[in-house]
Every structure is written in structure tokens, then in C-alpha cells.
Amino acid sequence: FTTKYYVQLFNNQNIKDAFWNTMLIAGLSTLISTTLGILTALGLEYKKFSGRKIMQGLIYVPLVIPDILMGVSLALLFNFTRVTTGMFTVLIAHVTFCISYTVIVIQSRLEGFDYSLVEAAQDLGAKPSYIFWKIKFPLMMPGIVAAALLAFTLSIDDFIITFFTSGRGFDTLPIYVEGTIR
């Protein structure tokens, strides 16, 4: 048994850069997709919203289409709009597929929500902001944490969509490892 190869691994600057790029993309995409997921889930919570069915259909699209189709379509979109591929395009791609998962997880938490607590707070004269931050948000927190962890894991793991949207000069760890194997 030897740790010689682990020492070599941690001394390789290219691997360190790819690792930190992966963590940066995963962290930012988790933060953005979880925030947008909270807002979207809260917006879809109201049954009177006229575009609710269409919006829910759009949320499920990234879940059912293959990764390769999403990667190619995003690559074509970035090429058509003449956007230079790199960190920004990878971030957009990761937010695009992570937001669907966050919305679904947070929506599932909201479905089991006890609205009698909100109604009691309203009856006692609590302001809407107080009700949200002191009652609703803490009860949503397990769903928010689960959604964020899922988004982070999916973002770290993604190879295909990142491959099509990263361009030259910006490697995440899965892209770097694939490149060195090839």
C-alpha cells in the first residue's frame, strides 16, 4: 500500500483547477437553482394562477429529455446566439436542469404543509412577512435543504451537458478526467 499516487494527484495543478471549477459551478448552480426553485414552487402553490399547467409542464421537460439532447440543444443555442462558451454557459446549463429538481422537491414539501398555522397567525394579526419567515419558511426548510443537496450532487456528477457547453479552456473534473483518459 502506498500513498505516492495520491500525493501526485494532489500536486497536479490541472486537477486542482478542474476540481475548483467543479465546486464553483456546483455551488453557484445550487444557490441559483434553489432560490429560483423556492420562488417557482411558491408561485405555483396558488391554484388560481392561469399558466400553472403550462409552467408545470415546462418544469418536467428537463427531467424527461435525455441529457445528450439537452446538451446538444444548449450548445446549438449558445452557438446560434454567438455566446462564448465557458464558465457562464456551463452555469446556465446546470441551473437549467437543476431548477426542475429543486422545484419538484420543494413543491412536494409544500403539499404536506399545514395551513392551519398560517391561518392562526393571520387571525392573531401577524403580517405576511412575519408569517413567511417565522412559520412557512422554517417548515419548508427540510425540502429546501433536500433540494439544494440534490442540485449540488447532480451538478457535480454531470458530464454530458457540461461537455457540450464548456468550450475550450474551462474544464470541470469530469471533463478533465475524460480528456486525460482519452
pTM across the whole model: 0.87
Candidates 73, 71, 92; CA nearest to 25 is 92
Residue 25 contacts residue 90 (beta carbons within 8 Å): yes
Interatomic CA distance for residues 126 and 134, integer angstroms: 10
Give residue 95's pLDDT band: very low, low, confident or very high (50, 70, 90): very high
User: What is the structure's pLDDT at 169?
Assistant: 79
- What confidence tens digit (pLDDT) does each residue in 7-40 have? 887 888 888 899 999 999 999 999 999 999 999 9
The mean per-residue pLDDT over the stretch 52-67 comes to: 88
